[in-house]
Structures are given as structure tokens and as C-alpha cells.
């Protein structure tokens, strides 16, 4: 998907489902973030978070104990 895809393009192809919109204010700038779900994804959110946590733990262990592996 290119960065130029519109919300209508994403809704019409059925592959993506739009989620909630959140607003975050950082300094004097307000960012609106809309969640986008890939309906054909093979991983659950739990799988993704577990993978990210595992990678971060491995990185921390390798940094602290370079001869670990």
C-alpha cells in the first residue's frame, strides 16, 4: 500500500478496517492518529507484542552480557 492511499481506498478493498482516532498533544502540536487493522493479518496483537518484548529483552541481555550467546 502506498502512502498516498486514501481512507476510501482502504475501506473499498476490504483488506483494511479503520479503527478509533486518538489525539496526542506534544508541545504546541496536536497529532490525530487513526488505527488501521489489516483483516488478513496472520499475527494477533498478542503475538506482535510478545515478539517485540522478546526482541527488546534479547537486546538488553546482549548489551549487558556480550558473551551470552
What are residue 24's DSSP bridge partners?
A: 31
For 19, half-sphere exposure in the C-beta direction (CA atoms, 13 angstrom radius) is 8
CA dist., res. 56 & res. 40, Å (int): 26
| Structural domain total, the chain | 2
- The average pLDDT across 57-67 equals 87
Q: Specify whether 58 is located in the same domain as 28.
A: no
Q: Are 63 and 34 in a shared domain?
A: no
Per the structure, the complete domain to which residue 18 belongs is given by 1-38
Kindly report the pTM of this predicted structure: 0.47
pLDDT for 9-55, tens place per residue?
555 566 777 888 999 999 999 999 988 878 888 988 899 999 999 99
Q: Cell triple for residue 10?
A: 482502504
Amino acid at each position: 500500500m502506498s502512502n498516498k492511499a486514501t481512507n476510501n481506498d482502504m475501506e473499498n478493498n476490504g483488506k483494511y478496517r479503520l479503527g478509533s482516532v486518538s489525539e496526542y498533544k506534544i508541545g504546541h502540536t496536536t497529532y490525530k492518529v487513526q488505527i488501521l487493522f489489516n483483516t488478513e493479518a496472520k499475527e494477533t496483537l498478542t503475538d506482535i507484542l510478545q515478539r517485540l518484548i522478546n526482541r527488546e529483552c534479547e537486546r538488553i541481555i546482549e548489551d549487558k552480557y556480550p558473551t551470552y550467546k
